[in-house]
């Protein structure tokens, strides 16, 4: 479903991604781990073209999308994204956040957008908060609204960029539960996260990145429990302490 | 919920109206309007009962009928022109295009560094000559525009701060659900910029209303001009008390105009208030 072939990205003289390739099949959950600054977020942003790769190809359902022939807005409707800082629109209620894309991009009628928005908010357990503004929600609730917002566009896959890193510990579980349920329902997901429990229980595959390169890739058992590479082992020791 | 559907496309203007009424500043507005109205009523009564010399009364006629009207007219001309220029200059400064951002910041620096009075004199005496204008009132028009340019530089900075107050992550999020750059600007950035800038804009409006008094320097027939004329005449036929009365009335009119306009801004601010945006919730 998502295929990345030999992606390179430079920010000025900084070589952030040095030839990354991987594939995510329909219904797969890929967890990307690695030290900060290793290029994980940039890689994720290359998939929905928030960052344009300088070299290499990004394919969605076999179509190369980092091409002048394809509108990035179209690509982003196929692949949803959830951010570390939630990034909810502060002037809109939860329901308006979820329906904005439907109303302005898909031009869906108001009642239909509302109905769908409510249904998505119900899926993340927030149907009682539809009229709340982001400032009135906890971090965990905001992130669940953000997930509902991504789901409203019926994406083929969802990218998660450290979705629990900015959360107080008490709110991490509710977000991971929603993500787990989403994965069980068959959603294709690429998750940048250091939640090892989630990686072990939910991911099909884990990818370890360091310094712009994929050092290791495999099942969670392989990469987390028995890493082959020295750097992976050092990283695992640090975060599993 | 209490059966209220959240608004989606159009604002419910009836609800906005209620919000204005519920505004705590509205009660204060009624109070101030009452006091100011009371002062005028007392003056009228004093005049009617013969406590005020009719000559003093006549002295105040032109400052009110012409001065106050012109001050208001200059204000409502300058404020929107300044806001439009300021908006685009502020916008230009936050774009990453050097072709837009660079001239805008030069504009702001130059205008902010020049006294409004100098700009007015320059526009009044020199611009008609440069532009070879034959219209005798052109100088005044240019002087009014000079004030609009003056306030626009300050408003540009207010708008710039407003644009920058919207976290770039929200633009990423808007683009991530398929909005293009323009839609993200229109539906995510601008509504927040608008709310965040209103308090500072109201403040700048209050400043520029009183800065229209600088137009007296070129003989524009606004409040201060008529105040000066009347005060001089008052001194020649009456006492220093009359001079004070004249200036008190002038000040009162500035107060009324400023109060009305800033409170209109305040009412809009209140009507569009959203938790967590712009002001601290009490």
Q: Is A133 on the interface with B (CB under 8 A)?
A: yes
Q: Is A137 on the interface with B (CB under 8 A)?
A: no
Q: Which residues pair with A95 in a beta bridge?
A: none
pLDDT of residue B2: 43
**DSSP string for residues in A97-129:** HHHHHHHHTS---HHHHHHHHHHHHHHTT-GGG
- For a pLDDT cut of 90, what percent of chain B falls above it? 58
Mean pLDDT of B264-282: 77
pLDDT of residue B282: 44
Highest mean pLDDT among B8-12, B77-81, B128-132: B77-81
Interchain pair B179, A104: CB under 8 A: yes
Of B1, B173, B191, the CB nearest to A87: B173
- For a pLDDT cut of 70, what percent of chain B falls above it? 89
CA distance A78 to chain B (A): 9
Among B141, B138, B125, which Cα is nearest to B78's?
B141
Interchain pair B183, A91: CB under 8 A: no
pLDDT reading at B141 higher than 60: yes
Interchain pair B177, A110: CB under 8 A: no
Mean pLDDT of B267-276: 86
Count residue pairs from A and B with Cβ separation < 8 A: 100
**Phi, psi dihedral angles at A25 (to 5 degrees):** -85, 165
Mutate to test the interface with B, among A90, A135, A156 (most CBs of B within 10 A): A90
Round the average pLDDT of chain A to a whole number and report it: 94
Q: Is A48 on the interface with B (CB under 8 A)?
A: yes
pLDDT of residue B281: 45
Q: How many other β-carbons are positioned within 10 Å of the β-carbon of residue B224?
A: 21
B179: chain A residues, CB-CB within 8 Å? 73, 100-101, 104-105
- For a pLDDT cut of 90, what percent of chain A falls above it? 94
CA distance B76 to chain A (A): 29
Interchain pair A90, B276: CB under 8 A: yes
**DSSP string for residues in B89-142:** HHHHHHSS-HHHHHHHHHHHHHHHTS-HHHHHHHHHHTHHHHTT---TTHHHHH
Query: Which of A87-101, A191-205, B124-138, B264-278 has the least mean pLDDT?
Result: B264-278
pLDDT of residue A16: 95
- For a pLDDT cut of 70, what percent of chain A falls above it? 100
pLDDT reading at B35 higher than 90: no
Pairing between β-strand A2-11 and β-strand A157-161 as defined by DSSP bridges: unpaired
**DSSP string for residues in B27-60:** HHHHHHHHHHHHHHHHHHHHHHTT-S-HHHHHHT
Of A93, A131, A149, the CB nearest to B177: A149
Query: Which of A223-237, B6-20, B69-83, B144-158 has the least mean pLDDT?
Result: B6-20
pLDDT of residue B18: 63
ipTM over 0.90: yes
CA distance A81 to chain B (A): 6
A152: chain B residues, CB-CB within 8 Å? 177
Q: Is A154 on the interface with B (CB under 8 A)?
A: no
Interchain pair A136, B1: CB under 8 A: no
Interchain pair B8, A110: CB under 8 A: yes
Of B9, B195, B274, the CB nearest to A110: B9
pLDDT reading at A224 higher than 50: yes
Tokens of residue B117, six digits: 């009075």
Of A91, A95, A153, the CB nearest to B177: A153
Mean pLDDT of B115-130: 94
Higher-pLDDT residue of A68, B6: A68
A85: chain B residues, CB-CB within 8 Å? 167, 169
Nearest CA in chain A to B196: A91
Q: Is A160 on the interface with B (CB under 8 A)?
A: no
Interchain pair B276, A101: CB under 8 A: no
Q: Is A21 on the interface with B (CB under 8 A)?
A: no
Nearest CA in chain A to B184: A104
């Amino acid at each position: 479903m998502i295929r990345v072939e030999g992606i390179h990205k430079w920010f000025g003289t900084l070589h952030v991604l040095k030839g990354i390739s991987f594939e995510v099949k329909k219904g797969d959950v890929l967890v990307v781990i690695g030290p900060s600054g290793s290029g994980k977020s940039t890689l994720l942003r290359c998939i929905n073209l928030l960052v344009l790769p300088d070299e290499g190809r990004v394919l969605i359902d076999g179509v190369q999308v980092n091409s002048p022939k394809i509108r990035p807005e179209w690509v982003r409707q196929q692949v949803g994204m959830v951010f570390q800082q939630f990034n909810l629109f502060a002037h809109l209620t939860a329901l308006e956040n979820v329906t904005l894309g439907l109303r302005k991009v898909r031009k869906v009628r108001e009642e239909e957008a509302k109905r769908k928005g409510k249904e998505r908010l119900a899926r993340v357990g927030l149907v009682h908060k539809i009229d709340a503004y982001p400032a009135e929600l906890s971090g965990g609730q905001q992130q669940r609204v953000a997930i509902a917002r991504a789901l409203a566009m019926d994406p083929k896959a969802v990218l998660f960029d450290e979705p629990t890193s900015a959360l107080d510990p008490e709110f991490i579980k509710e977000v991971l539960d929603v993500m787990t349920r989403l994965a069980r329902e068959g959603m294709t997901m690429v998750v940048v996260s250091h939640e090892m429990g989630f990686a072990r229980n939910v991911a099909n595959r884990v990818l370890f990145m360091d310094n712009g390169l994929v050092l290791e890739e495999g099942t969670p058992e392989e990469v987390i429990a028995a890493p082959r590479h020295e750097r992976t082992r050092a990283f695992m020791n640090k975060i599993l302490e | 919920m209490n059966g209220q559907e959240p608004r989606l496309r159009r604002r419910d203007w009836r609800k906005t109206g209620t919000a204005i009424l519920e505004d705590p500043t509205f009660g204060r507005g009624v109070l101030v309007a009452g006091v100011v109205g009371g002062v005028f009523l007392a003056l009228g009564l004093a005049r009617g009962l013969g406590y005020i010399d009719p000559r003093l009364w006549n002295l105040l006629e032109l400052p009110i009928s012409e001065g106050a009207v012109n001050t208001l007219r200059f204000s409502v001309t300058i404020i929107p022109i300044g806001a439009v220029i300021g908006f685009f200059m502020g916008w230009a400064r936050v774009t990453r295009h050097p072709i837009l951002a660079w001239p805008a910041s030069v504009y702001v620096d130059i205008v902010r560094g020049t006294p409004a009075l100098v700009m007015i004199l320059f526009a009044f005496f020199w611009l008609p000559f440069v532009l070879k204008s034959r219209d005798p009132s052109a100088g005044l028009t240019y002087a009014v525009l000079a004030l609009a340019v003056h306030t626009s530089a300050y408003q540009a900075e207010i708008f710039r701060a407003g644009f920058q107050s919207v976290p770039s992550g929200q633009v990423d999020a808007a683009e991530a659900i398929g909005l293009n750059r323009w839609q993200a600007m229109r539906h995510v950035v601008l509504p927040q910029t608008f709310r965040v800038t209103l308090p500072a804009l109201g403040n700048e409006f209050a400043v520029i209303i009183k800065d229209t008094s600088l137009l007296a320097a070129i003989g524009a027939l606004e409040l201060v001009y008529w105040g000066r004329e009347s005060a001089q005449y008052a001194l020649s036929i009456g006492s220093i008390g009359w001079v004070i009365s004249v200036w008190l009335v002038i000040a009162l009119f500035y107060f009324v105009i400023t109060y009305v306009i800033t409170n209109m801004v305040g009412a809009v601010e209140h009507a569009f208030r959203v938790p967590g945006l712009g002001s601290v919730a009490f």
